[in-house]
Copies of this chain bind each other. A is one copy, B any other.
């Protein structure tokens, strides 16, 4: 781990922080967190699943967060029994690895357009370019080399990592995190199609809609959200987007949606609240995905998906049907195999 821990905690203090039950010595101290196989004296580690028992032997962790069913496996190491070791870890991380402090200020190499305003405190990094009439809220941090076009607004406590681009008019909410290389508000892929026998050109449709990102959103590295054509593109509050995701023009995404890496949502889709979209999923244009639906890895959605449905495959179908169909196909294969023999 690269981050330097700032202080240490006793096993009893870890138990109090996590609401767990301590088994073993209460005065053992930890100053850092490490994975089982690399944990040494002074480290806190965690055991969430029997899958990781093989690593336990190599572990020299001083204190272990673990679930009840695995508590006896750890011998006489100080253990703290919790329902969910990953959630418990959050409380300890906040104490041992507090978020790095940041220094407010505007770097002298930043270029600031006329009419641009911010609320103290802000941090504007080196070589940042802000257009005209940009509005930054309180505690906004804009990383090195970011470029924000005219009229962009960024809400309080939002952080932009280096090299983010916001096209003119983009609006970003509060407590949102934009990772490096995120592009917000680029023109959607909209053309009046040409081609045909006369080889007419595709004519570009100008885009006048906005890209609107809610509060408490996180968008991963190099992901792209286009602006709307006439309507806006909207990402709802609390939605989390992984790396290299594409969200096209006029898409409306609800609250607390999870979108994994390399997924693509085509134009004018509506994605309900609490939807889960797996890695490399594709959703075709104009599809509605109901609240709570789950689109499994690499699914290809070409029609509407009902609320709460779990779908897989291309074209996406109910998960259970896909499992039965592939089982049937491969069972017939086994039969054919016997026939051949």
Residues of A within 8 A of B (CB): 1-3, 33-35, 38, 46, 51, 84, 86-87, 89-90, 93-94, 97, 99-100, 107, 109, 111, 125-127, 129, 143-145, 147, 151, 161-163, 165, 167-170, 177, 179-181, 183, 186-187, 189, 191-195, 199, 201-206, 208-210, 216, 218, 220-222, 224, 226-228, 230-232, 238, 240, 242-244, 246, 248, 255-256, 258, 260-262, 264, 266, 273-274, 279-280, 282, 284, 286, 292, 297-298, 300, 302, 313-315, 317, 321, 324-326, 328-330, 332-333, 336-337
Please give the count of copies of this chain that the complex contains.
3
Can you identify 27 A-B contacts, CB atoms within 8 angstroms? A1-B210, A1-B232, A3-B208, A84-B192, A86-B192, A87-B203, A93-B206, A107-B111, A109-B111, A125-B129, A129-B144, A179-B186, A181-B222, A189-B260, A191-B258, A195-B256, A201-B216, A243-B246, A246-B261, A261-B264, A261-B266, A297-B302, A298-B298, A324-B337, A325-B329, A328-B333, A329-B329
The answer to whether A163 touches B191, judged by C-beta atoms less than 8 angstroms apart, is no
The answer to whether B300 touches A297, judged by C-beta atoms less than 8 angstroms apart, is yes
Give complex CA distance A100, B149 in Å: 12
Give complex CA distance A3, B228 in Å: 12
The answer to whether B324 touches A231, judged by C-beta atoms less than 8 angstroms apart, is no
B residues in contact with A274, CB < 8 Å = 195, 199
Q: Which residue of B lies closest to A244 (CB)?
A: B246
B residues in contact with A111, CB < 8 Å = 107, 109, 126-127, 144
Q: Which residue of B lies closest to A88 (CB)?
A: B192
